[in-house]
Amino acid sequence: MATMAQITTRDGYIIRAFSSLYVDYGLEVTSSDGKERYYGPCALSSESYGWRMCDHCQENGGEHYDCENPVEWTEEEWAAALRHEADDLLDMAMMPTH
Every domain of the chain and the residues it spans: 3-93
> pTM higher than 0.75, yes or no?
yes
pLDDT recorded at residue 98 = 57
Nearest to 70 by CA among 95, 56, 97, 51: 51
DSSP state of 2: -
Q: Measured between alpha carbons, how far is residue 22 from residues 1, 19, 25, 59, 60 in Å? A: 11, 8, 7, 31, 31
pLDDT of residue 39: 94
- Asked if residues 7 and 14 have their Cβ atoms less than 8 Å apart, the reply is yes
State how far the Cα of 91 lies from the Cα of 42, in Å rounded to an integer. Answer: 17
pLDDT at residue 50, rounded to an integer: 93
CA distance 23 to 34: 28
* pLDDT tens for the 98 residues of the chain, in order: 799 999 999 999 999 999 988 889 999 999 999 999 999 999 999 889 999 888 888 788 766 557 888 899 999 999 999 999 999 999 988 887 65
26 CB neighbour count, 10 Å cutoff: 21
pLDDT at 64: 58
